[in-house]
Structure 1
Amino acid sequence: MAKSVGSYIFNAVRGGAVGTSEALPGISGGTVALMVGIYDQLIGGAGHMVSGIKRWVTDVPRGLGPTRAREQFRQVDWNVLLPALVGMVVALLLALMLIAPLVEEYTQYAYALFFGLVLACLWVPYSGSGKTWRGWHYVLALAAAALSFTLTGLPGANLPTNPVVVFLVASVAICALVLPGVSGSFILVAVGLYVPTKDALKDLDLVYMGAFALGALVGLSLFVKLLQFLLENFHHVTLVVLTGLMAGSLRALWPWQTEDRTVVAPTDVPVTLAFMAVGFAVVVAAIVYEHRAKAKAAASKPSSDPVR
């Protein structure tokens, strides 16, 4: 039982890391999900949940809805997904109220830390499939990086906060939760809805929150099925594209830029580089620890070869 409880807590913490990242402009929840090792479970589980709900609704007239829905729900790794989602929601709300103001006050140092984190995280999708990259893979990744770099360098806008606009923006921004590269918070900043969204949470603006939640639900439901299909059928190529998107998104985390994303001359270089090095070292340490743990677990398994 203790081991089971510990596993739930561990998965909640991993989900909390993803949720926290979504409150911070520039760092993607999908990137953190890759880093903490729950990306495939999140995408696969969310995809099966969407399929289950769809089958429950569409197959009701034939009396097959509940049965076919349960078939999909059983394929979800609930031991990972449920505590991760709980941790994600709790951490997101806390981060919006507590951590985001610190990032706004110390933007340069925060961006430097996240830059180092994401830079080291590139190794995760790069090596994730276990297959060798070929020349055209690098070209594809470069194209994805160029697209991500361009998008994260676009000037900001100030969209109105009417429910229709909030719904549409939320349906796009939520996709960043599962797509490594551009963060959902960064999208909100780019369109001028980051502060209104934080204020709506603080003021319990139910109309705004309802439109945002509905848009997020619709956008995530559609996008997660696409990602699930790509990961199940084109896993290696999908990881190649994700690597490029993550690399290009480093533009959004460059510590020496203004609010309108104009690059400026470096200042306070030693301290900023120190934060960058800390972020990089944390991820490298986590990757090394995970590899050693896997190697130790593999070495401890009894050989399946027959004794001669």
Structure 2
Amino acid sequence: MNFNIKEAFLIFIRGLLMGAADIVPGVSGGTMALITGIYGHLIEAISNIKFGFIKPLFKGNLKGFWNQLLDEIDFKFFIPLVLGIGVAFLTLAKVVTYCMDVHTALTYSFFLGLIIASAVVLFRKLNEISIKTIISAVIGCILTYIFVSLNPIAANHSLIILFFSGMIAICAMILPGISGSFLLLLLGQYKYMLNALHQLHFTEIIVFVVGALIGILGFSKILNYLLKNHEELTMAFLIGVMLGSLKVPFVEISNAVSMNFSGLLPCIIIAVIAFVIIVIMETKFDYID
């Protein structure tokens, strides 16, 4: 297994972007994976993990175990990606929460620009627009709008709750447009898990991660099937999901600033900057097949 330093670094940067996005309620790490060209590779790589390497291990066949492990798990892809996501989680959690608390309108304006640009990027990937794709997009938009309109529910922070929260949130984290962090917010676990990251509460973190691993391994297979067999409808649905999720930054911005020209101008400028950043990233990043 030979590492290409340049490719590993670019995957690491993608991981940083995914991790930074996943921290933010209303923004999806899956969106970052999509616009930086690794989304299809990510879903396929995860769905290829079938744990066939365990069988030779039970038989004491270490060589067979190692060969099967290398065959199933794309370490050249996963190692730099997971490192990037981990570094983002540990270093940016405080920064993001600070920006959301102190510069709420500008922060959510930036998120708004990111989401709109991501929807445009995904729209450009559609080969054709049909009645079916339009209906799929409308359904995705309506369902997401209803979902993000829900009020956060009260929940305890027991290990079993954290385990299932990890399972649920990770499914959203790999979907463009659906924020896993927002799901955690609804489940009442968002600030608790941010605290766990800040203070390195390893028990809670490990339980959450185990739940996330189990969730992502199962869900990725379903998503991989949809992308391979119903790509246009799936992509259209995801565009609708992104558009429906725009309610989150819109509400936060309207609550934080005066809805007049002077109040909205800085927000519009920040949103445009975010939009341009995504467009540039989408054109500059090479796809990893």
Query: Structure 2 length normalisation: TM-score?
Result: 0.86
User: After superposition, what is the alpha-carbon deviation per residue over 1:225-251, rounded to whole angstroms, capped at 9, x for unaligned?
Assistant: 111222222222221221111121111
How far residue 58 of structure 1 moved from its aligned partner, in angstroms, is 5.7
Conservation of the 8 A alpha-carbon contact between 1:57 and 1:65 = no
Q: Distance in 2 between matches of 1:65 and 1:128?
A: 44
SS at match of 2:233: helix
**Which residue number in structure 2 is paired with residue 117 of structure 1?**
114
Conservation of the 8 A alpha-carbon contact between 2:104 and 2:253 = no
Distance 1:43 1:73, change over 3 A: farther
Q: Distance in 2 between matches of 1:272 and 1:75?
A: 46
- Greater shift, 119-128 or 66-75, is seen at 66-75
How far residue 257 of structure 1 moved from its aligned partner, in angstroms, is 4.8
Q: Distance in 1 between matches of 2:268 and 2:31?
A: 21
Distance 1:244 1:63, change over 3 A: farther
How far residue 151 of structure 1 moved from its aligned partner, in angstroms, is 0.5
Select the residue among 188, 197, 211 that pairs with 1:215: 211
* Structure with more contact order per residue of length (Cα contacts < 8 Å, sep ≥ 6): 2
Q: Distance in 2 between matches of 1:155 and 1:187?
A: 11
**Which residue number in structure 2 is paired with residue 274 of structure 1?**
269
How far residue 258 of structure 1 moved from its aligned partner, in angstroms, is 4.9
Select the residue among 173, 177, 187 that pairs with 1:177: 173
Select the residue among 86, 103, 125 that pairs with 2:83: 86
Conservation of the 8 A alpha-carbon contact between 1:58 and 1:65 = no
**Which residue number in structure 2 is paired with residue 31 of structure 1?**
31
Which letter maps to 1:79?
K
- Greater shift, 72-81 or 226-235, is seen at 72-81
Distance 1:236 1:23, change over 3 A: same
**Which residue number in structure 2 is paired with residue 198 of structure 1?**
194
Structure 1 residue runs without a partner (length 5+): 295-308
Distance 1:64 1:111, change over 3 A: same
Q: Distance in 2 between matches of 1:258 and 1:103?
A: 13
Q: Distance in 2 between matches of 1:114 and 1:19?
A: 14
User: After superposition, what is the alpha-carbon deviation per residue over 1:116-168, rounded to whole angstroms, capped at 9, x for unaligned?
Assistant: 11101112222325x21212211111111110111111111221111111111
Which letter maps to 1:170?
G
**Which residue number in structure 1 is paired with residue 131 of structure 2?**
135
Distance 1:252 1:66, change over 3 A: farther
CA RMSD of aligned residues (A): 2.8
**Which residue number in structure 2 is paired with residue 232 of structure 1?**
228
Which entry has the higher C-alpha Rg, 1 or 2?
A: 1
User: After superposition, what is the alpha-carbon deviation per residue over 1:233-286, rounded to whole angstroms, capped at 9, x for unaligned?
Assistant: 222222122111112111122243559xxxx96262111111111111222333
**Which residue number in structure 2 is paired with residue 303 of structure 1?**
none
How far residue 28 of structure 1 moved from its aligned partner, in angstroms, is 0.5
**Which residue number in structure 2 is paired with residue 160 of structure 1?**
156
State how many pairs are aligned: 282
Which letter maps to 2:6?
G
Conservation of the 8 A alpha-carbon contact between 2:90 and 2:198 = no
Distance 1:36 1:177, change over 3 A: same
Conservation of the 8 A alpha-carbon contact between 2:163 and 2:212 = yes
How far residue 205 of structure 1 moved from its aligned partner, in angstroms, is 2.4
How far residue 29 of structure 1 moved from its aligned partner, in angstroms, is 0.5
Which letter maps to 2:25?
P
Which letter maps to 2:44?
G
- Greater shift, 139-148 or 176-185, is seen at 176-185
Distance 1:208 1:286, change over 3 A: closer
Which letter maps to 1:222?
G
How far residue 207 of structure 1 moved from its aligned partner, in angstroms, is 3.0
Distance 1:188 1:258, change over 3 A: farther
Percent identity over paired residues: 26
Distance 1:164 1:78, change over 3 A: closer
User: After superposition, what is the alpha-carbon deviation per residue over 1:177-205, rounded to whole angstroms, capped at 9, x for unaligned?
Assistant: 21112211111222221111111223332
Q: Distance in 2 between matches of 1:43 and 1:111?
A: 28
